[in-house]
Amino acid sequence: MGLSAALGESMARAAGAVPPITPDGEEARRWAEDELSDPVYDIAEPTPLDRVAHAVGQFFENLFSAELPGGLGSLVALIAAIVVVIVIVAAFAVWGVPRASRRARAQTPALFGEAERRSASQLRAAAASHAQKAEWDAAIVLRFRALARACDERGVVDLPPGATVHAFARAASRGFPELAARLEAAAAAFDDVRYLRRPGTAELYRLVADTDDAVASARPAARQEAPA
């Protein structure tokens, strides 16, 4: 075989080993599958969360961009507003309206302008101790505080930190209307002793103590809130 013939045969074999530059349809599909099976392309695939977010976004986009015939657009907006109002009303009905006075009372357990952490029973015991010693001023003040704290503990009256004794008496009177006059008289006794510096007496202490006992045994009409 001559040199030229051998060279031609070698070139022919090399040409046969190289794949065609333009593959046919089946070959192109196989190449594409082989290429896309590479793990590097998995990063570009959307996750299930991406698909859900896209579907939700597409739903709202179609909802608000759709052209509704006639006056249906306004009708749909009205129905949506009614649904929102119903949900809000239902939430208030289930959980109630947050009360600022409750939060304030939890943060600052004040009673008529002074810090007071004792319970109603503790205040009554302290008042009785002063009464046994004829210390009527302290006994009257503590017994009226016991009256107010008891109403607060029972949930009859909300007592914000700035509530006065007469504001409490008015609020408690709405819960116990049959005791309104006695509550006002007890509040006046507290004011006389605590702020006007008038001397307390056994009669005033008995008035406050009897009012406290009457309120403790009465059934309230409804919960009230004393204004600050």
Q: How far apart are CA 149 and CA 157, in angstroms?
A: 9
Q: How far apart are CA 178 and CA 174, in angstroms?
A: 9
List the chain domain ranges.
100-225
Q: What is the pLDDT of residues 160-190, one digit of tens each?
A: 878 899 999 999 999 999 999 999 999 999 9
pLDDT of residue 102: 47
Instruction: Residue 121: count other Cβ atoms within 10 Å of its Cβ.
Output: 12
Give the pLDDT band of residue 113 (cuts 50, 70, 90). confident
Task: Report yes or no: 182 and 131 within 8 Å, Cβ to Cβ.
Answer: no
Q: How far apart are CA 175 and CA 158, in angstroms?
A: 11
Whats the size of the chain, residue-wise? Answer: 228
Q: How far apart are CA 152 and CA 160, in angstroms?
A: 10
Q: What is the pLDDT of residues 8-64, one digit of tens each?
A: 555 555 444 444 455 555 666 666 666 656 555 555 566 666 676 676 566 556 655
The verdict on pTM exceeding 0.85 is no
